Structure 1
Amino acid sequence: MSEVEDMENCVYKNPNEPVEARIRDLISRMTVKEKIGQMTQIERIVASPSAIRDLCIGSILSGGGSLPFEKAQSSDWADMVDGYQKAALESRLGIPMIYAIDAVHGNNNVYGATIFPHNIGLGATRDSDLVYRIGVATALEVRASGVHYNFAPCVAVARDPRWGRCYESYSEDTEIVRNMTSLVSGLQGQPPQGHPKGYPFVAGRNKVVACAKHFVGDGGTDKGINEGNTIASHDDLEKIHMAPYLDCISQGVCTVMASYSSWNGNKMHSHHFLLTQVLKDKLGFKGFVISDWEALDRLSDPQGSNYRYCISSAINAGIDMVMVPFRYELFLEDMMYLVESGEIPMARIDDAVERILRVKIVAGLFEYPMADRSLLDTVGCKLHRELAREAVRKSLVLLKNGKDPKKPFLPLDRNSRKILVAGTHADDLGYQCGGWTATWAGTSGRITVGTTILDVIKEAVGDESEVVYEQNPSPDTFAGQDFSFAIVVAGEPPYVESGGDDPKLIIPFNGTELINSIADRVPTLAILISGRPLLIEPWLLEKIEALIAAWLPGSEGSGIADVVFGDYEFEGRLPMTWFRSIEQLPLHARQNSYEPLFPLGFGLTINGKKLSN
């Protein structure tokens, strides 16, 4: 039999053969160079067709905001991804690459995709079925763009709102986070009864490979410093931060991303005990462990900065795929040296490649490597936008409604004669969506397709009502005007990761002063757009009539109007403790001297009843 005939009839290409048999067959045919290539993930900017083909690169990613071009739509993404895949399939063994993206609240890099609330808002819903359905919708929109792999969900347990990634966490409470891991089954599909524990699972072409991140303790760092140090006993690390990973693994999650952070001074990316002995051996995880962006560069040789030391310490600790993402030639060269010198055992390489191939085979990439254009109509479709709208209204937490409990301020009268709308966030879709939207850090303006809060207020009011919008009203705004009420929408600008670390948590853009100046003149509803609890002065809370925590709601502002004007009841409950002062932080439920402004689980109905936690 010729080599060509052998390749055509080989076991690894036969979908009817058992997965493990296919893996063994393929690995037996691979060179060391090809194995190391499979362990390498590079950014699309440096992913030339020749590099993908000749080096057998295993994965390509788009970092936040790494787009085919500005405002690229799903079909443009599919064209781009298919181009990279074509190069991968032209490699000697024809191993498909897996394309990855951070679709952390919908397919947020793609113009026109549905943008769901960030995780902190979903945690306020307490609705695991809603999160599952969001996973299903997100998988469709991601696969429509040709992408196979989604770096979600983040299952961090955020213990300090000063953390710049707080909004990527569902809650400070481990049980709430565990309940929200249903996103994994939404993205990948639900494994059948009897599916082997820890074995990766993907249900078909309409599903994506998911990634539980960031293992482990990223939400518990001292003072909420991103990439910082989580100081905790092993019992607390397991009980508080590791527990959600058990739920993800039981749902067949395909990949786990290591955290930039450290545990008691030891960096996670070189932590053999946690990555190998606990995650892989004790918990039985059979998918692959991926590094975070340039995370190996953050490791350091005791004698200085030595990239080979960083690589060997991470790979030997249990990292299977390395998000390089740019200097892949140096990475491949150093990896080859480390393997040939025996510093990284061949058994460790084979284990990593087995795990990567297992996920690719389970995900059906060998049979269906190219984009499915029939899914394009799902992107930003009415059904998905209605789902996002439902998520918004269920996420809203009513913190105050009226100065007199017997006289609730909400719902607002949609037939009021004159309504003032103000604030930096009232008519800014980018601010509404937050970070990880269109670009890495997010930005202001009409960055995608959606409706702002001002848009939906104008749609919701009666024909005889006049809506006056001024972002920062001056005293002249009120001269001779008789406003029925004001809606002031204030909050945080978009941010990501360390750029969001904030030791003060004051409402930005002089938000406190703006709300105060308007509340002095007009009965005021304040809506706070933020990725976390912010400092609310007690005197300000006294002044305003009503207060809503709206989190980062995404593209469908209509969900806010649905509740504010009384078409739906408030259902949201705080996913995090709302502190009184910065000096209290970190402040968690069930601890001594717990005196919050609002406790974990707090939320009111329109008639003033407290929702049960």
Structure 2
Amino acid sequence: MGTVCPSPLAVLVLLFICLEASVASSSGVPLYKNPSATVEARVQDLLQRMTLEEKVGQMMQIERSVANPSIIQKNFVGSIISGGGSVPKDRASPTDWMDMVDGFQKAALSTRLGIPLMYGIDAVHGHNNVYGATIFPHNIGLGCTRDPDLARRIGEATALEVRGTGIQYVFAPCIAVCRSPSWGRCYESYSEDPDLVRKMTQIIVGLQGKPSKAGVPFVAGQHNVAATAKHYVGDGGTYHGIDENNTLSSFKSLVNIHMVGYFDAIAKGVSTIMASYSSWNGKKMHGNRFLISHVLKKQLGFKGFVISDWQGIDRMLSPPNLNYTYSVETGVNAGLDMIMIPFDYVTFHDDMIALVKSGYISTQRVNDAVRRILRVKFSMGLFEHPFADRSLTGMVGAQEHRELAREAVRKSLVLLKNGKSKNDPILPLSKHASKILVAGSHANDIGRQCGGWTITWQGQAGNITPGTTVLDAIKSTVHSSTQVVYEESPDTSFAKGKGFDYAIVVVGEEPYAEMLGDNTNLTIPDGGIRTIQNVCSSVKCVVVLISGRPLIVEPYLPLMNAFVAAWLPGTEGKGITDVLFGDYQFEGKLSRTWFKSASQLPMTVGDKYYDPLFPFGFGLTAMAVEGR
């Protein structure tokens, strides 16, 4: 084998790093602690100082509930996570969060090399784990706005609220292309259309800031956070929409449908990418070396780090944990850099050390993983600013963010019917009616209005966080002389016999997340159907559907005078009344196909036998009324 000569560029880079190291060492300060040095020089300097145990620690992400200063110091933990609903205490304040995160950070900085940790959280529609935060519409609604700049502004607001609790890292955005609404995560997807998903990756620029160099991990400053594009790759295309299932496709289809959003995410400098629980043609993504190491890292040039999903290593075999050591070996060798363990960190740590020492995982693979993690940490300025900025606590739930969320709600609403005939529209509604009925399980319930991933993983019914319900929004919008009557489940005699001018019926799905939301039935829950039938057969009615996906409505559509898809709008219910009463016009256009029956699924725009109830891109306009 002949001698391989390094390129002139490689020699220059190496000389530059050596020069920087010489200057740093002469000053007595390690190069990696010098903020004026290049990121790559700092990474190299720190990496060569680290023991195997310290490197493995950087690859570990553990749950806050099992973390304490001793564990962080002993295991050199690189990252901590709050799972859904995992909080410092019930209704924790921003200061409570900061105190917790800074406490963990002090422990990390007290280790031999003082490497700061990253604290990560799911902030998928605002800072949704935190009581009092602004909850934005879920992505399915934002896709209906078709407004990338709005997505960017939501990213900026979310970053400020996350930083307002001392956290620097979010597991967002989800850039899945959901092909079947049966999938329990479909509301986390902007659209069934990959081009629309690509446009909405602009949220990354809001979260992280605008990168100066395409393709390099980038976080602009202490008002921004490291973002995660997820879930790589094909999570939205699984068989029958079953969560964590198998995506059957050619490589070309995988790229053209499910991978193109990652092109944009990488170009925007996304810091991390999360692997999908799902499989591609039978091979688990967490163990797919071709797609992670060859395609993502080598061909697409991704320079940040790849993180597993929650217990993603455990779930590589069935049943989970069948052979944990094998799964660690396979996942890390496939290209996973940081492992969201999140609980059994001792087993992971010991297995990793043993696998490296026995040669099953190479030192080069570990160095590559840690190099990527350190690159992101240096790029975010974490070594210079490891602690929370206490001046940002007021950003959590800030009024300007709530106004932005209200704007997002009204732009996301899709008007699907207005009038039983074209010449008899009911919208916009009069604010000066004598007496109106508000009905339905979702009319006065913030938890149902927000959906899953709100305060807890699955979300729940009830007024679980501050916000404005649809009922409260109606009451504050209509004239003071208008009598607003709320009855959650009225019978026909009540609806017919009280002299109502019109009714607003707000019904929908119960909150859910991930696999617990998988559903092949896709009907409105029985109570909602009954309310629609009782009210809309008795009085003029507008039905507002709160749901994470299209549902079967065709049998009940003739009863309705108007029908509005509101998706999962979040805490700012006034965005709904803004358009119902004509202060703003409807702008939303369907980001996914509305089917007639579940037997048609999966059905997406462009299919040969495309026969929807409402096609992709559909949305009526009811003009705003001047002076209302």
- TM-score tier, shorter chain, comes to over 0.9
Q: Which residue of 2 aligns with 1:528?
A: 545
Q: 2:395 aligns with which of 362, 371, 378?
A: 378
Q: Which residue of 2 aligns with 1:253?
A: 270
User: After superposition, where does 1:422-571 map in structure 2 within 5 Å?
Assistant: 422-478=439-495, 480-538=497-555, 540-571=556-587
Q: 1:26 aligns with which of 43, 46, 67?
A: 46
SS of 1:468's equivalent in the other structure is strand
Corresponding pairs, count: 600
Q: 1:291 aligns with which of 296, 308, 312?
A: 308
Superposed CA offset, 1:51-100 (max 9, x none): 10121100000000000111112111111100100110111110000000
Letter in 2 for 1:136: E
SS of 2:522's equivalent in the other structure is coil
Report if aligned partners of 1:255, 1:290 keep a CA contact under 8 Å in 2: yes
Report if aligned partners of 2:445, 2:461 keep a CA contact under 8 Å in 1: yes
Superposed CA offset, 1:434-493 (max 9, x none): 111111110111111110000000000101100000100134524641000110000011
Cα distance in 2 between the residues matched to 1:64 and 1:216: 22
Cα distance in 1 between the residues matched to 2:379 and 2:148: 25
Q: Which residue of 2 aligns with 1:328?
A: 345
Q: 2:335 aligns with which of 315, 318, 337?
A: 318
Q: Relative to structure 1, is the Cα distance of residues 83 and 545 closer, same or farther in structure 2, using a 3 angstrom cutoff?
A: same
Letter in 2 for 1:413: S
2:202 is equivalent to residue 182 of structure 1: yes
Q: Which residue of 2 aligns with 1:54?
A: 74
Q: 2:153 aligns with which of 133, 138, 163?
A: 133
Q: Which residue of 1 aligns with 2:588?
A: 572
Q: 1:86 aligns with which of 106, 117, 123?
A: 106
User: After superposition, where does 1:203-218 map in structure 2 within 5 Å?
Assistant: 203-218=220-235
2:136 is equivalent to residue 116 of structure 1: yes
2:124 is equivalent to residue 104 of structure 1: yes
CA drift at 1:379: 1.5
Letter in 1 for 2:365: R
Report if aligned partners of 2:492, 2:538 keep a CA contact under 8 Å in 1: no
Cα distance in 1 between the residues matched to 2:321 and 2:422: 64
Q: 1:151 aligns with which of 163, 171, 174?
A: 171
Report if aligned partners of 1:432, 1:529 keep a CA contact under 8 Å in 2: yes
Report if aligned partners of 2:192, 2:591 keep a CA contact under 8 Å in 1: yes
Q: Relative to structure 1, is the Cα distance of residues 509 and 303 closer, same or farther in structure 2, using a 3 angstrom cutoff?
A: closer
Cα distance in 1 between the residues matched to 2:318 and 2:181: 32
SS of 2:313's equivalent in the other structure is helix
Q: Which residue of 2 aligns with 1:76?
A: 96
Q: Relative to structure 1, is the Cα distance of residues 70 and 301 closer, same or farther in structure 2, using a 3 angstrom cutoff?
A: closer
Q: Relative to structure 1, is the Cα distance of residues 456 and 304 closer, same or farther in structure 2, using a 3 angstrom cutoff?
A: closer
SS of 1:371's equivalent in the other structure is coil
Q: Which residue of 1 aligns with 2:614?
A: 598
Q: Relative to structure 1, is the Cα distance of residues 303 and 398 closer, same or farther in structure 2, using a 3 angstrom cutoff?
A: closer
Cα distance in 2 between the residues matched to 1:304 and 1:336: 18
Cα distance in 2 between the residues matched to 1:62 and 1:301: 26
Q: Relative to structure 1, is the Cα distance of residues 64 and 301 closer, same or farther in structure 2, using a 3 angstrom cutoff?
A: closer
CA drift at 1:513: 2.2
Letter in 1 for 2:509: E
Q: Which residue of 1 aligns with 2:14?
A: none
Cα distance in 1 between the residues matched to 2:549 and 2:492: 31
Report if aligned partners of 2:491, 2:534 keep a CA contact under 8 Å in 1: no
Q: CA RMSD in A?
A: 1.5
Report if aligned partners of 1:301, 1:309 keep a CA contact under 8 Å in 2: no
Report if aligned partners of 1:290, 1:321 keep a CA contact under 8 Å in 2: yes
Q: Relative to structure 1, is the Cα distance of residues 362 and 393 closer, same or farther in structure 2, using a 3 angstrom cutoff?
A: same
Report if aligned partners of 1:200, 1:287 keep a CA contact under 8 Å in 2: yes
CA drift at 1:300: 2.5
Cα distance in 1 between the residues matched to 2:316 and 2:253: 25
Letter in 1 for 2:371: E
SS of 2:119's equivalent in the other structure is strand
Q: Could you tell which deviates more after superposition, 303-312 or 103-112?
A: 303-312
Q: Relative to structure 1, is the Cα distance of residues 488 and 338 closer, same or farther in structure 2, using a 3 angstrom cutoff?
A: same
Q: Which residue of 2 aligns with 1:350?
A: 367
Report if aligned partners of 1:301, 1:310 keep a CA contact under 8 Å in 2: no
Q: Relative to structure 1, is the Cα distance of residues 559 and 53 closer, same or farther in structure 2, using a 3 angstrom cutoff?
A: same
Superposed CA offset, 1:15-46 (max 9, x none): 00111110011011100000000000000000
Q: Which runs of 4+ in 1 moved over 3 A?
A: 5-8, 301-304
Q: Could you tell which deviates more after superposition, 386-395 or 48-57?
A: 48-57
Q: TM-score of the superposition, structure 1-length normalised? A: 0.96
CA drift at 1:303: 13
User: After superposition, where does 1:39-50 map in structure 2 within 5 Å?
Assistant: 39-50=59-70
SS of 1:510's equivalent in the other structure is helix
Letter in 2 for 1:284: G
Q: Which residue of 2 aligns with 1:611?
A: none
List gaps (5 residues or longer) in structure 1.
Answer: 609-613
SS of 2:369's equivalent in the other structure is helix
Letter in 2 for 1:345: S
Cα distance in 1 between the residues matched to 2:320 and 2:87: 39
Q: Relative to structure 1, is the Cα distance of residues 38 and 7 closer, same or farther in structure 2, using a 3 angstrom cutoff?
A: farther
Report if aligned partners of 2:492, 2:534 keep a CA contact under 8 Å in 1: no
Q: 1:202 aligns with which of 214, 219, 222?
A: 219
Report if aligned partners of 1:124, 1:575 keep a CA contact under 8 Å in 2: yes
Q: Which residue of 1 aligns with 2:5?
A: none
Q: TM-score of the superposition, structure 2-length normalised? A: 0.94
User: After superposition, where does 1:160-171 map in structure 2 within 5 Å?
Assistant: 160-171=180-191
Q: Relative to structure 1, is the Cα distance of residues 302 and 442 closer, same or farther in structure 2, using a 3 angstrom cutoff?
A: closer
Letter in 2 for 1:128: P
